[in-house]
Amino acid sequence: MKNVKLQNLRFFVAIYEERSISAAARKVHATQSGVSVQLRDLEDQLGLSLFERVSTGVTPTKAADQIYHRAIRILREVGRLEEDVSTLSDHLTGEVRVGVMPTFARAVLAPVLSSYCLANPLVEVKITEGYSALLIQMVLAGDLDFAVVPNGVFPGGLRSTFLDTDLELLVSRQPIDGVDGSVDLARLPPLSLVLPGPDNARRAKIDRYLGEFSGGAHSILEMDSMMTTLDMLRRGEWSSILPGCLCLPDLQNSDIHLYPIVKPNLTVDYMLVEPAARAASVPTQHFVQALGDEIHRACNVCRAHFANGQAV
């Protein structure tokens, strides 16, 4: 077998993840014919057929399944080697493209940006705020270096890492009669709830919880704007279920009432998602570490607040 080129592996991984030669060509910024040539070269070098052509694109063979997992490890290691060489200079340089949910945009992200940008003035940081479905697609397309999203079922081409678990809180402008501290939804009357749309990863878990444990038929207003959701809460007619990290500024705010949801506890797991076949740059690794530390700190603050029996 001749030496396999890295370009062959990059194009193979793109085809495997996209299940389409044309989509893979767009992903790697190459022509469709160029990607096809690279695939044929790799198949000739290996003496194997890696894909079956079907009407909707291509389907990997069993050989391709095995080669894919080894190929992404090789490409990650090559990426790490390139980053090791590039950081021999005194200062980090480059670009970090970050995807965050509105959960973190209110209270978690700013402290990270302030310290990171001060320490790394030559790194260009680009932030995209969005819900999980959009952020995941942007990571897959190569438009983001990583994103932090709620746990869920992630498509191929991504690797995920658990960061922390946050409380989900029932948030209301008006106090709830008879409730002091945590809230059992099965014992509450029907509520008017502002919830994110069905593409939000948290929504599916909230719907299952309400279906299994809630005692009332709640009125639901779907809202994929966190700013408008918070405005609706301030007006006093609607409540919502929001992550604790989003509610950190309200822990000492007597105008907003926060109730952890129990029996059983309703929580959200935060996951870091990255491209499976690409190693994170050193500037990106530093940002991931700083953001993960701040998320951990915020989750601990929220848990400690309610563990001490405090309710706002």
Residue-range domains of the chain with CATH: 6-86 (1.10.10.10), 91-312 (3.40.190.290)
- Is 86's pLDDT higher than 90? no
Instruction: Please say whether the beta carbons of 51 and 39 come within 8 A.
Output: yes
Q: Which range, 23-27, 31-35, 195-199, 270-274, is most confident?
A: 270-274
Task: Give the three-class secondary structure for 303.
Answer: helix
260 exposed, middle or buried (CB, 10 Å; 0-12, 13-18, 19+)? buried
Band the pLDDT of 311: cuts 50, 70, 90. Answer: very low
Give the pLDDT confidence of 148-169 residue by residue, as tens digits. 999 988 999 999 999 999 999 9
> Residue 300: its pLDDT value, please?
96
> Residue 137: its pLDDT value, please?
94
Give the pLDDT confidence of 95-128 residue by residue, as tens digits. 999 999 999 998 999 999 999 999 999 899 999 9
> Residue 56: its pLDDT value, please?
86
pTM for this prediction: 0.76
> Residue 153: its pLDDT value, please?
87
- State percent of the chain over pLDDT 90: 56
Q: Calculate mean pLDDT across residues 66-74.
A: 91
- Is 234's pLDDT higher than 70? yes
- Is 177's pLDDT higher than 80? no
Band the pLDDT of 4: cuts 50, 70, 90. Answer: confident
**E strand or H helix at 278:** none
Give the pLDDT confidence of 249-292 residue by residue, as tens digits. 999 888 899 999 988 899 999 999 999 988 899 999 999 999 99
- Is 310's pLDDT higher than 60? no
* C-alpha triplet 137, 138, 141: angle, nearest 5°: 85
Instruction: Give one DSSP letter per residue of 33-47, joined into a string.
Output: HHHHHHHHHHHHHHT
> Residue 308: its pLDDT value, please?
62
